[in-house]
Structure formats: structure tokens, C-alpha cells
Amino acid sequence: MLIQNKFKKKMNQIVRKLTVLVLISFSCFLLTRCTKMNHDVKFDIKSVEKKTEIHLTDDQDSPTCSFAQVYTYLDESSKDTLIQKINSNIKEELFGPEYKLIPNEVLVDSFLAKYIVDYKADVLELYLEDKKNTSDENEYQPSWYSYEYDQNTSIKEGKKNILNYMSTIMEYRGGAHPNTWHIWLNVDKKTGNILKKQDVFISGSENIIIEMIKNELVKQYSEIFPDESFKTFDDIADHGSLLIDQSEMYIPENFLLKEDGVEFLYNQYEIFPYAHGPSFITLPYSDLSKYMLY
């Protein structure tokens, strides 16, 4: 009986020691996982480029669509699911949900193929009709039968754990001038999500941030028109430069969480006429941080 008790006591001690070792090992495992998940992730960047010219018909003298595109993405050779998620989200935001699962290497070719189909659907029938009814070949090739599309994209490090994705598109489809616009995205490097305004700025702070933006625009206008007096945003409205009522001012969808502050972008025609060009406004984190969730 004495031997049995000693044996049980010894086994209990062994079990307790093993339990402690298992708990310690598991705790170290969790700590390692947490450390790995929270470190500042670095990514390798790749790009696909294409530049070509497509004729509207098989006739080499027919109008053309000039196409150029640089699509930038994160290298997926590691098979990292977070990287794949980031690329998919960027593709969906830039090109639409139908491009989300298209491999990065063939995305440009896929986009070009659809663009050419749309180009011909827009103008081919009109062009052929003009050509049939016009004897002078110079008269049935007006500029609106030739399209131009040029897109350039890039990725940069922004605020801690944020990737800044920038796309600039120039497109001409006839008319007085081409149109240029920008698409800016902020990617959370930990989750792969694209951050929207509601994810970044505290609800209820919109009017305060808008006032900051308006004050910066007043400063810009004072520099553009040094001979005129622009002291308040009302002066810009009175100048007749706004395309919207000043009470309709808003925080733009395009903004970048950069290293030192938030840069906001209004594209051409958003709030000012084409001739004004896009508006870029940077506010430091020292002014904005109290109104931000990120």
C-alpha cells in the first residue's frame, strides 16, 4: 500500500510538470504568432506594361485606339494569402468585380481586349456609315473616331502599416480635350482591406475636416490669383469658380494616408472647372489625428 501511494504521488508530480511545460510551450507559440502578425510587413512590387495601337477596321488607314497601361501589383510568388487578398481588392476597386480573380500577369491583356470591344461598339458603325456616304476620305475620319487611353499605377509606403496605391488615367474620346483623373487607395497591410472615409475619420468630424480643407483651398487660390483678394471660401464661391454650392463641400473619396499627413484630392470637374485642374490638399496629422480612427 505504501508503495502504491508513493507511485501515485510520483506520477502526479510528473503530470504537473508536463502540464506546466505544455502551457509554457503554447504561450511561447502564441507570442511568436503575435509578434509575426504585428511586424511591419514588406512586399515586393511587380508590374505589367503594354503599349499598342489598334485600328478601328482592317484598313491600316482607319482611325486608331492608342493604348498604354502600367499595372502595378504585389508579387504573389510566396503564395501568401494576405498578398493575394490585397491584389484582388485593388483590382476590384480599379477595374470592377469582374477583374478581381483575373491573374495579375494577364490583367492588362484582358482589360485591353474589353476596351477594344467597347471602342468598336461605340464608333465602328458610325464610322462605316460616314465612310459610305462621304466621297472625301479626309471628312470621314474626324478626331472622335480615334481613342486614347493611358493608365499609370504605382505603390508606395504610407503611414505605418498602410500602402498607398495611386492610379492616373488619361483618356480621350473626342471633344475639346482629353480627361485625366486619379484613383487613390489606402491598403491596410495587416488585413488587406481598402480603407474608406468611414474607416478612417471619426463620424461627426466631417464638417471640421471640411473647414480645414476649405482654408487650404483659400490659400491656394490666393497664390493662383495674387492680384485678387481671396480671404475666405465665400470669396472663391463669389468668384464663380465652384461647380457645386459651397454648402455641398465634402471630404473626397480620394485621399492618401502618407507618412506625415493626409493628402486629399479633388479630380477635375469635382468641385472646380477643367481649366483649374485637380486640387491637392495636405493636412498634417498634428491637426487631424484627433479626428481619425486610423
Please give the Cα distance from 213 to 176 (Å, whole number).
Answer: 31
pLDDT in the model for residue 41: 58
Question: If one looks up domain 45-195 in CATH, what number appears?
Answer: 3.30.565.40
Residue type, 98: E
pLDDT in the model for residue 138: 60
pLDDT in the model for residue 96: 97
DSSP character string of the chain: -HHHHHHHHHHHHHHHHHHHHHHHHHHHHHHHHHHHHHS-----EEEEEEEEEEESSSSTTS-EEEEEEEEEEE--TT--HHHHHHHHHHHHHHH-GGGTTS-HHHHHHHHHHHHHHHHHHHHHHHHHHHHHH-SSGGGG--GGG-EEEEEEEEEEE-STTEEEEEEEEEEE-SSSS-EEEEEEEEEETTT-PBP-HHHHB-TT-HHHHHHHHHHHHHHHHHHH-TTS---SHHHHHHTT--SS-GGG----SEEEE-SSEEEEEE-TTTSS-GGG--EEEEEEHHHHGGGB--
Please give the Cα distance from 292 to 286 (Å, whole number).
Answer: 11
pLDDT in the model for residue 139: 62
pLDDT in the model for residue 5: 46
pLDDT in the model for residue 141: 65
For the chain of 294 residues, list the mean pLDDT of each consecutive stretch of 10.
45 46 38 36 90 95 95 96 97 97 97 98 92 71 88 97 98 89 97 97 97 95 83 87 90 97 97 91 97 94
Q: Residue holding cell 504610407? A: 158
pLDDT in the model for residue 275: 85
- The CATH architecture assigned to 198-291 reads Alpha-Beta Complex (3.90)
